[in-house]
Amino acid sequence: MESLLLKIGQNLFLIFAVMALAGAAVMVFARNAVHSVIGFLFAMLSVAGCYLSLGAEFMGVAQLLIYAGGIVVLFLFVVMLVELSKAREARRFQGQTPFALLLVGAGLVAFVGIFWQTIFGASATEPLTLSQNLVSHGETLGNAQMVSRGLFAEYLLPFEILSVILLVALVGAVVLAKAERV
């Protein structure tokens, strides 16, 4: 019993990863767009489980809150309101197949190279550690506190620039939508 539970606990990441892949497969292959969104939601929840099983609880819960709770809801709204049957009949993606295959091949080569390096390369033997100035404050900090210290103390400028970029995207979307209406 004990050893079985231990084994399951050690392989939790693999279980969640397989679930995430299954969700992603459902998303790609489902005929119905809403079923795709449900597969996407399942994949996002499983990725949150992956983070939790790796001990990154803040990442996991943020994944749950932002992707599963926010972004996929917007996907669902759009999919529900847009009539997709006509778009399927038009078959507008025919000309892109060779380019898509080429890009997928390039991406596959890059990812396999990275995985090869991480599993068999030099970095596989030494464990990843946090940046020293994040952990050297003497006290044992929680996950959320460490992330916030990193974001708002060590890397404040990049973080603020990122948020400005997001704001620009937001304003741009509003401007585009307004122009269409007139």
Considering the complex, what minimum distance in angstroms separates the CB of residue 145 from other proteins?
Answer: 8
Token output for 58: 């803040």
Q: Which two tokens stand for residue 102?
A: 């080429």
| Nearer Cβ to other proteins (6/102) | 6
Nearer to other proteins, 66 or 110 (CB): 66
80 binds other proteins (CB under 8 A): yes
| Sole binder of other proteins in the list 27, 45, 47, 50 (CB under 8 A) | 45
User: 34 vs 169, which CB is nearer to other proteins?
Assistant: 34
Is 2 a binding residue for other proteins by CB under 8 A? The answer is: yes
DSSP-derived secondary structure for 24-86: HHHHHH-SSHHHHHHHHHHHHHHHHHHHHHTT-HHHHHHIIIIIIIIIHHHHHHHHHHS--HH
Specify the DSSP class assigned to residue 142.
P
**Residues 50-69 interacting with other proteins (rule: CB under 8 A):** 57-58, 61-62, 64-65, 68-69
Helices vs strands, H then E, count in the chain:
10, 0
For residue 99, the minimal CB distance to other proteins (Å) is 34
